[in-house]
Copies of this chain bind each other. A is one copy, B any other.
Amino acid sequence: MAQFISTQKRQGYAIISIAKEPVNSFDTAMWQALHAALQAVETDSSMRGVIITSGLQRDIFTAGNDLKELYAPLTSAQQYATFWEAQSRCLVGIHSSRLATAAAIRGACPAGGCAISLCCDMRLMTAGAGGAIGLNEVALGIPVPKYWAGVMVQVIGHAAAERLLLSGSMVPPKAALQLGLVDELVDDKAQLLPRTEELMQQAVKLPGGARAATKAGLRGDFDEAWLQYALTWEAGPRGFARITDPNTVASVGAAIQRLSKGGGKKQPQSKL
């Protein structure tokens, strides 16, 4: 999957671009590839920051998980465990990165795409119509993973996160800004990356070691608990039991069919 992810290095930071048409869906190999790309930046001591963005033609950050990985008839306990571990190691890797991290979000940012962006230090988004961000799993009949919800709680507070999550809502850019779900909007697509780079250039000027140690103090306990829970509970028999629940199988099956009919064109946000 490495062919779908490209890394460009600038002075002090890198830009990781994800471009797997049509909607940047994440299966096991994609999570592993994104994680590997992040680690490659981290091991370069000249790098102090990373921007994650989409290289798709359409205005989609990523539609999140490939539903086939969550559809019991198409996977196995073993495969599901591998998938969940790859996904969780990548997300915890972003959240706990020593680097300054930014998500540059163009358009739709549902589910797993929202999770990736919430794990970054800052989120910029295009203001344009059609964009929306949120962990909309409940609307599709699937629980929001516990620590995805937890990251949203950190970013916008407990009550606001509960309201969004329990209603399966995605919110448009302006509402996302007001909630603190994103930090800044840009008027035009063309400004998205330049403005994100401008903020990143400020961030990487700061002493990297002190910044990283402070970030570890703020996030370390949470990330340790997250990985522990993901690898034992969610990737284990209890996690797999969840996706073999008949209601969940029906919900995910219906979502797959809906998406295959629409070719993912109309409702990229309904992917996980």
Question: Does A206 sit within 8 A of B, measured CB to CB?
Answer: yes
Given contacts A154-B158, A155-B159, contact A142 B218 (CB under 8 A): no
Q: Which residues of the other chain, B, contact A247 by a CB distance below 8 angstroms?
A: 207, 209
Q: Which residues of the other chain, B, contact A202 by a CB distance below 8 angstroms?
A: 167
Cα(A253)–Cα(B75), bound, Å: 58
A159 x B162 contact (CB < 8 A): no
Q: Interface digits, A124-166 against B, CB 8 Å rule (1 contact, 0 not)?
A: 0000000000000111111111100110011111110111011
Instruction: State how many copies of this chain the complex holds.
Output: 3
Of B144, B163, B203, B213, the contact of A167 (CB 8 Å cutoff): B203
Question: Does A211 sit within 8 A of B, measured CB to CB?
Answer: yes
Cα(A214)–Cα(B166), bound, Å: 7
Q: Which residues of the other chain, B, contact A203 by a CB distance below 8 angstroms?
A: 166-167
Question: Does A215 sit within 8 A of B, measured CB to CB?
Answer: yes
Given contacts A158-B155, A159-B180, contact A146 B210 (CB under 8 A): no
Shortest distance in angstroms between A148's beta carbon and chain B's nearest beta carbon? 9
Closest chain B residue to A151, Cβ basis: B158
